[in-house]
Amino acid sequence: MRFSLALLLVCPIAAFLVGCGSQDDSTPVACLEGPGAYLAALDDAPAAVRVGGQTPIGECLAENQPGGELATVGAALIEAATELNAEARAEPAGLAALRLGYLVGAAQRGAERSAGIHADLLRRLTVAARYAPGDQPLGPAFMRAYRQGFAAGHSRGSIRCGNERT
């Protein structure tokens, strides 16, 4: 009886610790569903955004992410950023610039723990997000909304053990 009681107490604690220190390299399934999944989730920005209703964007950049999954996630993020950039250039003070900033901020937050494997993706994502034809400035309204979204995405775009951000 004592053994089973001890086991009941120890197992949840061990499971929590294993989950927090996990070296899980898999990408959440929702993150692999293409740009539409990210665009739909970003409708909630600047509040907490969850791809597939459950996964923060930053969690789509797994610590030791396999190359194929990284390519799939990267293509979806860049396509979503390209679409949002076009919308934001058409309406600089609109929600698209805010959502675009959130996307980049959340991706940057998620990549902070990955020892640089997402560096190229982040560069490409930033270029797609800040693209302006003919090197024309994006304008103050765009930049205000983008910065607001970036700050929200960076602070809410990932969950850290013991420090959940919602």
> What pTM did the predictor assign?
0.81
Mean pLDDT of 77-94: 95
pLDDT for position 20: 40
How many other C-beta atoms lie within 10 A of the C-beta of residue 161? 11
pLDDT for position 94: 87
Buried b (16+ CB within 10 A) or exposed e, 117-155: ebeebbeebeebbbeeeeeeebeeebbebbebbbebbbe
pLDDT exceeds cutoff 80 at 4: no
Cβ pair 73, 119 in contact under 8 A: no
Distances (CA, A) of 136 to 43, 97, 132, 144, 157: 27, 16, 6, 17, 29
Q: What angle do CA 141, 145, 105 make, to 5 degrees?
A: 140
Instruction: Give the model confidence (pLDDT) of 19-50 as tens digits.
Output: 343 445 789 999 999 999 999 999 999 999 99
